[in-house]
Structures are given as structure tokens and as C-alpha cells.
Chains A and B, each alone.
Chain A
């Protein structure tokens, strides 16, 4: 197909694409820029380079507590969501049964529901059940919102998985567990790690559900939210925000590389994009 037969020549479109990428990245880039600026308010012209705001971070006990809480919540939520995701993704890609699509739809629903409504409905039930709000309730909420992402990553890793390999292993005398450990697991391991990283990133950055479901313990986004009320704390928040941005960026890049590797092993494309 020649370029002439298409609507709009690619040239103009690539200019637009470039501008669009700038629009997507520009706001995010201001956080790192002002986090190394000496002036306490974020405005141009820049006044000078400093790492002072970063040096202050480790001397803030509330921040360290929040970071520790986020780590605990993130690890628990990503492990739980990935385990539940593995079961569901395996079931969806391997078996056919009535109600399969409806169940899948229900599991994916938190992706498109307003987060506030998901959060307050969970809050109501937890208060009714007499559960006291804590990091545990935050984990319960995060697992629910992470499962759809975990499912997406894992289905792309499981789909196109050649079942004859497992059958061959069983025929050659491996036990069911042996087949799982020596055939299935190595094939899907990159997808599983990718799911863990994606879920951890989501939990690390998630605010609304944590905001409603936590008791007195803050996670990092809740800590940031609290600091936003004080204009004088802004540079510290910008520095912390930059670190979070870098963390998310690295985790997602690794997750994407692993997901692609998993997809290539099972000769399947798509995943997060499909």
C-alpha cells in the first residue's frame, strides 16, 4: 500500500504524534526539574541546582514509615493479586465452560468503575463487618483493582501456550507437579514476574482506595496528599514524587520487557495493548 492511498500523509501525522508525546510527557517532566531547583516555589526562571530537597527526605520519620507501609502493602497486594490472576487466567485460556465470559467481565469490572464508588462500597462493608481499617483493608482493596491488570498480563502469557508440551511431559512419566514445575512454570515465569511488577507499581501509586480504607497508617500517596496542604513542603513532595516516578518507570519497563519475552515464548502478541 502506498502512502498516497491513505488519508492524511504520514508527515503531518508524525508531527502531530511528536507534539502529542510532548503533551503527555511535559507535565510529568516538571516534577524532576523543580525538585532540583533551589527556589521553594516551582516557577521560571530556575534559580539554581541543589540536591537539598532529596537530602532532607531520609530525615523525615513520617515519610520513612509511609515508605515502609507502601512496601508491605505493595508486596502483599501484588503476590495475592498475581496468585488469583494466575488461577483465573489459566482457567480462562485453558477451559471452555458456560458463564466464562460473564465471570471474566465481573473480574475485569474494577478497571472501568469509578474508583470512589468501589472504595466507598468496600468501606461500608468493612465497617458493617466490624473490620477495623488498617493496612490489611488497603491490601484487600488493592488486590481487587490489581487483578484485572494481572489478568491482562497473564492471559497474554498463557494464550497460545502449547498444551502438547505438558502432555508430552506427562507421557514421558513426569508427575503432575513435576510437569508444572519443569515445563509450565519456566514457560510462564516471565509473565508472572511481569504481573507482580505491574501490580506492585499500581499499589505503590494508588491513592483513592488507600485513602478511604486505611486507618491511621499512611502509604506514600497518602503521605504526599497530606503534605500538599503546606506550600512550604512542596519541594520535598516534588523530590519524593520524582523518586516515585523513576520507580514506576523502571518497574514498568522491566515488566514490559518480561511480558514481551513471555509472549515471544508462546508465540503470542498483544497483552496490555490488546
Chain B
């Protein structure tokens, strides 16, 4: 490759050098990964660039005007409907990630510290429901929370309420409950992994030096597991902000989220540039929120020590 630039060495040497280069570890490794890498470039990076480009264009019925404009972003950020949807999506994804992490931590702790020989069995039990269809899990919450649903008929059967409650389904709480359930396993795994890495002798040392169980947990185990808490929060927060199925099935009018508006722009409303601008805005804002979450957890971690 570079041989040509270095004058004109004998042909045999060029070939030898090229062979050496091709057989070198880095090149072999890169060649091996290149099909997968290219696939991700073409079907992930390129599409995202196309979306970003579209967000600066304008739709005129069936054609797209490619002069640069920030109009779509103005609409996305100032139109009350999109602003509200964006805020609600952020609020829901933040609440869901908070709940999943809080509920998941004790489980991860239990498996890591008390799981004994059955650690992988516990993890398997927890991950299995997660592998079933997401659509079906959302559907089962609809069955549970509905007007004629399991919860209402159960509560009526027990004589706790007289008539079915309509407050259970079709609002943002139903969305939060469903999403918290759907992402539970995703939060447990990273926390478990980071708890496994906590050096048990440090906990013992803290106890030997007179810290009670609660203090040694707060000052040793919890701060050391912060990386797991961070990845759990992010792995739940970022995908849930763009959830489409849950708000559509259990959200009703009060639970509509930004993804439903994005879908409408690519479907019925047929305004691709606006849909693109909404997607980009959502990704940017959720990244900022994720960044802030990381900073807050890191600060708390430093304070705890």
C-alpha cells in the first residue's frame, strides 16, 4: 500500500511487504469485522444521517424542497402539542428508569450476595419473561388494567369496589407501570454485573473497622456499584423515551408520547422533515438528560465516600 510512495523497490519486495501487511494482526482483524461494520454503517449510520438531513428540508405535498431551513425545529420546540408530548415522554422515561433501578437494585443485590450456587438460575428466571414478545406483554397489561379487566373484576369480586374503575387504563400511569415491567430485566443485569465486581473483602474491612451493615452498604457497596446503576438507568431511559406500542395500547389520550407523533408524520400526516426534526430533537434532549443523570449519580457517588 505505502510501498508505491517510497519510490520503486523491486516488485518481489513490494509483494512481500504487502503480504506481511495483510497478514498482520490489525489488518486481519479489521478485514474480518468489515462486513458487519459496513452493514451497521449502511443500515444505521447512513439512515441516521439521512434523517438529520431531512430535518433541515421542507415537504411540499409529494416533493421535498432541499433548501436549508430551521423551521421544522422551530415547530418541534415551540408548537404546544409537540412540546407537551416531548415533555411527557421525557417525564415518563425518567420516572420509568427511576422505578426500574429502585426495584431492580435489591434483586441484583440479593442474587449477587445471597444467590449462592443458584446465581445463573435466578438470572435465567428473571430474563425469561423479557424474551417473550414485547407486544404480548403490553397486551397483557391491557387485559389486567382494562374496564372489564382482571384487576377491576378481581377487586369487585373481593367487594373492595362496587363498579369498575376507569382510572386504571388509558393514562400515563398505565404507561409507566407497563414500561417499568417491560424493562425490569434490562435494569437488573448491569447492576448485578457491577455488584459481582465489588471486592467482598472491602465490605468486610468496613465492618471490621466498626461500620454497621447499613453504613458499610452506603459507603462501600453502593458507591462501588454506581457504574451498574448508571448503565441500568441509561439502558432504560434512552429506548423508553421513543416507545410507540405502550402509549398506543394502554396510554389513551393522556398517555400519547412523542413516538406516536413521529409515526404520524411518516404516516398519515406525511411530513417527513417534521418527523425527522422531532426524532433528532428527541434524541438530542434524551442524550442531555442521560448526561445529566450520569453526572448526578457520579456526584452522589463521590459524596458517599
In the bound assembly, the distance between CA atoms of A123 and B50 in angstroms comes to: 10
Question: Does B245 have its Cβ within 8 Å of any Cβ on chain A?
Answer: yes
- Chain A residues with CB under 8 A of B150: 30, 42-44
A56-112, CB < 8 A from B: 84-85, 87-88, 90-92, 94-100, 103, 106-107, 109-112
Interface residue ranges of A95-146 to B (CB < 8 Å): 95-100, 103, 106-107, 109-118, 120-125, 128, 140-141, 143-144
CB-based contact B32/A205 at 8 Å: no
> Are B43 and A28 in contact, CB atoms less than 8 angstroms apart?
no
Is A107 within 8 A of B36, CB to CB? yes
Residues on A with C-beta less than 8 A from B28 are 95
Q: Is the CB of B73 closer than 8 A to any CB of chain A? A: no
Shortest distance from the beta carbon of B283 to any chain A beta carbon, whole Å: 6
B202-230 contacts to A (CB < 8 Å): 203-204, 207, 213-214, 216-218, 221
A207-B134, A221-B135 known; A7+B213 contact, CB < 8 A: yes
B213 in contact with A43 (CB, 8 Å): no
Report, as a range, how many residues of chain B touch the other chain. Answer: 35 or more
Residues of chain B contacted by A95 (CB below 8 angstroms): 25-26, 28-30, 32
Best-buried of B27, B33, B259 by chain A (most CB within 10 Å): B33
What per-residue 1/0 map shows which CB atoms of B110-154 lie under 8 Å from chain A? 110110000010111111110111111101110110101110111
- Give the interface of B toward A (CB within 8 A): 25-30, 32-33, 35-37, 39-41, 43-48, 50-51, 54, 103, 106-107, 109-111, 113-114, 120, 122-129, 131-137, 139-141, 143-144, 146, 148-150, 152-154, 157, 181, 184-185, 189, 192-193, 200, 203-204, 207, 213-214, 216-218, 221, 234-235, 238-245, 249, 259, 262-263, 266, 272, 275-276, 279, 282-283, 286
Q: Tell me the A residues contacting B by CB distance below 8 Å.
A: 1, 4-8, 10, 13-14, 16-17, 20-21, 23-25, 27-28, 30-31, 34, 41-45, 84-85, 87-88, 90-92, 94-100, 103, 106-107, 109-118, 120-125, 128, 140-141, 143-144, 147, 201, 204-205, 207-208, 212, 221, 224-225, 228, 237-238, 241, 244-245, 248-249, 252-253, 256, 260, 272-274
Taking A109-B44, A123-B266 as known contacts, 20 extra A-B pairs with beta carbons closer than 8 A to each other, sorted by chain A number, are: A7-B213, A20-B106, A28-B132, A43-B149, A44-B150, A85-B36, A87-B32, A96-B26, A103-B33, A111-B235, A112-B234, A116-B243, A118-B44, A120-B266, A120-B275, A124-B54, A207-B133, A225-B135, A245-B133, A274-B193
